[in-house]
Amino acid sequence: MRVVILGSGRGSNAEAILLAQRAGRLGRAQVGRIFSDQADAGILALGARFGVPADYIDPAPFKTKLEGPGEERFIAAVAACAPDLVVLAGFMRVLKAGFLNAFAGKIINLHPSLLPAFPGLDAIGQALSAGVKETGCTVHYVTPEVDAGRIIDQARVSVEPGETFESLTAKVHAAEHRLLPTVIARLSAGG
């Protein structure tokens, strides 16, 4: 299963995927390419470290969505990889119909809450403010509605009394780093 990763930040979830691949825990999945919409994103440095081509693609003209010429550039670059799965690992852009249709049923996202609770930005902060006793992370298929696609799997973490944003973020990230590679491996086996 050919995998392309899209990310905007430091790349900790992409690193978890690549470490799982190196350790033989990614099933029949193989990451073939990493793309970022940020020229200085840490995720791009993972390419050289793990022997996977990693490139910046200009997302202009918009700051938060992928549309117009930027969307066309991303579609062309990803399509050239002939992916079976496109993994959004901290990709901070809203995908529009053109991209979604080009890779229909092949795009998954990792979100830091137990969806449908706390979709959108600052999910960990939302969970903490709401006073929930449990949160976690969700891997789901990407659809036009943000964080509303079919849920593939979730991992739960408890919210302890006195929990801080930083401590809860660390717990959710640890759960994400376990969940996402596991889901990719299962999908590569047809699950």
One digit per residue, the tens of pLDDT, for the chain of length 191 reads 999 999 999 999 999 999 999 999 999 999 999 999 999 999 999 999 999 999 999 998 888 888 899 999 999 999 999 999 999 999 999 899 999 999 999 999 999 999 999 999 999 999 999 999 999 999 999 999 999 999 999 999 999 999 999 999 999 999 999 999 999 999 999 87
Distance CA 48, CA 129 (A): 39
Q: If you classify domain 2-188 with CATH, what class do you get?
A: alpha beta
- Closest to 168 in 3D by CA, of 87, 113, 97, 89: 113
Q: Report the predicted TM-score, pTM, of the whole model to 2 decimal places.
A: 0.95
Whether 111 is a known active-site residue: answer: yes
How crowded is the C-beta side of 126, counted as CA atoms within 13 Å? 15
Cα separation, 179 vs 187, in Å, equals 12
Which 8-state DSSP code applies to residue 80? T
Longest CA pairwise span in the chain (Å): 49
Q: Which of 111, 140, 173, 177 is catalytic?
A: 111
- Angstrom distance (rounded) from CA 85 to CA 185: 11
Write the single-letter amino acid at 146: V
